[in-house]
Amino acid sequence: MMKTVPLKKTFLSPRLLNGLAALGLVLCIQTSAGASPAGGNHPSGYDTIHSIEISKSLSSRKHKIRLYPDARQQVLFFSASGESGKVYQLFLFDMDGRLVSQTQIRNRETTVLTNISEGNFLFEVFTDDERIENGQVKVR
């Protein structure tokens, strides 16, 4: 299921984005000409469609991990909540197994991953040397 949403008409909240990501749905956002982060123009009056798809393979019931896109700016938000005082580490790998990005946050914090290039990536989230979530991120 793929849906194109014009940015100038609709605002998508982070909660809605997280819900779509949790269901493994693709979120496509189409920007009007001149509003592209890359600044390019498409002959149809719209720029290229950018999408970020997040699918989870393993989910923890004890810890709530949120990984959701802001496709307009091509960034990923990473937040976690669970036990007080926990530190969560996110690792993002390319399909060859090379580490592309790494970040850590504390319980009830959010961080932003920027400069993610197009491609397929694997992610893993750890706390106390225990993998609590993993999955795949597709950026197109």
Domain ranges of the chain: 4-139
Q: Looking at the predicted structure, is the pLDDT value of residue 134 above 50?
A: yes
Residue 18 vs residue 33, higher pLDDT? 18
What are 70's strand-pairing partners?
75
pLDDT value of position 71: 56
pLDDT at 35: 38
Distance between CA 126 and CA 135 in Å, rounded? 12
Helix (H, G, I), strand (E, B) or coil at 37: coil
Reference 65, options 90, 84, 94; nearest CA is 90
Interval 61-76 mean pLDDT = 84
pLDDT at 124: 97
Architecture of the domain made up of 4-139: Sandwich (2.60)
Comparing 43 with 57, the larger pLDDT belongs to: 57
Averaged pLDDT, 96-117: 94
- Over range 76-89, report the average pLDDT: 94
Confidence of residue 68 (pLDDT cuts 50, 70, 90): very high
Q: Which residues are bridge partners to 56 per DSSP?
A: 135
* Per-residue pLDDT band at 73 (split at 50, 70, 90): low
Give the angle 93-97-72 at the CA atoms, nearest 5°: 25
